[in-house]
Amino acid sequence: MQHKANRVAILGSQRIPFVRSFKEYARTTNQEMLTETLNALIGKFGLQGKRIDEVSLGAVMTSSIEWNLAREVVLGTTLDKHTPAFNVQRACGTSLETVNLIALKISAGQIASGIAGGSDTNSDLPVMAQRSLAWKLIDINNSKSVTERIKKVLRIRPSDLKPAFPGIVEPRTGLSMGQHTEKMVKEWNISRIEQDQFAFVSHMKAALAYKEGFYSDLVIPFKGATRDTILREDTTPEKLGKLKSAFDRSAAGSLTAGNSTALTDGAAAVFMGSEQYAKDNGYEIESYFVDGQAAAIDYVEGGAGLLMAPTLAVARLLQRNNLRLQDFDFYEIHEAFAGQVLCTLKAWESEAYCKKELGLDKPLGTIDRTKMNVKGGSLALGHPFGATGARCVGTLSKILREAGKGRGLISVCTGGGMGVAAILER
């Protein structure tokens, strides 16, 4: 049976403050952060005791014991316990992917309402045992006799007892995202001064947004934090210029703690529904989710840089929707590193890159930077890996609501050489 697609409405969002890891949210789990965030969303929209058709949540730094994280979060909220939920993980694009999946279900008519979101914490890392120890413990557990068990216990070596900490490095290259971005900025000739200036502007925009009260109904207090703690409204390009390089310690290094996102803990969630659901329940529609796109590039064998995949995701999204890069009133581009964003902008302007990597006859062109991250970006607000996409959707949706009309583009780079993009409009 052919189904007419439903329009997908963004009804609103909530998040807890994004804070520097190992500070306010030390010993706080993803489940705790997401439960607090969802309960705030539930309270904001009067959803207590109500059944939502679907909840999709995700995180990157998770433990194997959190195998049913989304459902456990729902069970800890005041939603009707008949609300189903499922986990998603797409590195830093995780919660933008949850939004996309909920949107697809609403569009297809499978569901009428949904919540999408994500979180991450570096303060509650899933520290694991070495695989060698895990395998030996399994063998011990499967032993048939006490004697056999003792023999296998004696095979454990001191090296087996060394804990395995998760690292933010690419398994295929052994390099961190910062090291990969250092390679990118050198290839694209992005200077340290450009990166520091970009970071400075991000902080100034976020500081102004807070001063104007933009985040007052988006960010709820949690564990003593009332606003994003990474934001530095007193920073200057001169202060940023004095910081030491963080990934390339030579004189050629240009990425610092100031123009790179800090390790961050936090959570964000978005409430979504069909146009009819919004009408039936008296909810104002902030914006509409139009379309989403994920893409991946070869960053291992001489291809584009690790964090350049959004260039491809955006190109495919524009092509499918018959739009130009300039056909947007607002741009929410995730700032993993100032250099990463600057490389992306430069690549869209490059005829050679767009032809080789994107398969286009001409470059996508330049965007108006005054329309980009107008309420601050990840460099100022922070970047909990699994929460950033939902934060971008919530921010952009409110911007469109306040503007009364317009179209916005979201672009998020991720580990593994992937990128996720989306279009919202009002």
Tell me which residues are annotated as active site: 92, 383, 413
Backbone angles phi, psi at 291, to 5 degrees: -170, 160
Residue 20, strand partner residues: 264
Task: Provide the sign of the torsion angle of the four alpha carbons 181, 182, 185, 191, taken in this order.
Answer: positive
Q: Is 334 left (phi over 0), alpha (psi -120 to 50) or beta?
A: beta
Q: Give the chain as a 3 state SS string.
A: CCCCCCCEEEEEEEECCCEECCCCCCCCCHHHHHHHHHHHHHHHCCCCCCCCCEEEEEECCCCHHHCCHHHHHHHCCCCCCCCCEEEECECECHHHHHHHHHHHHHHHCCCCEEEEEEEECCCCCCCECCHHHHHHHHHHHCCCCHHHHHHHHCCCCHHHHCCECCCCECCCCCCEHHHHHHHHHHHCCCCHHHHHHHHHHHHHHHHHHHHCCCCCCCECCECCECCCCCCCCCCCHHHHHCCCECCCCCCCCCCECCCECCEEEEEEEEEEEEHHHHHHHCCCCCEEEEEEEEEECCCCCCCCCHHHHHHHHHHHHHHHCCCCCCCCCEEEECCCEHHHHHHHHHHHHCHHHHHHCCCCCCCCCCCCHHHECCCCCHHHHCECCCCHHHHHHHHHHHHHHHHCCCEEEEEEEEHHHEEEEEEEEC
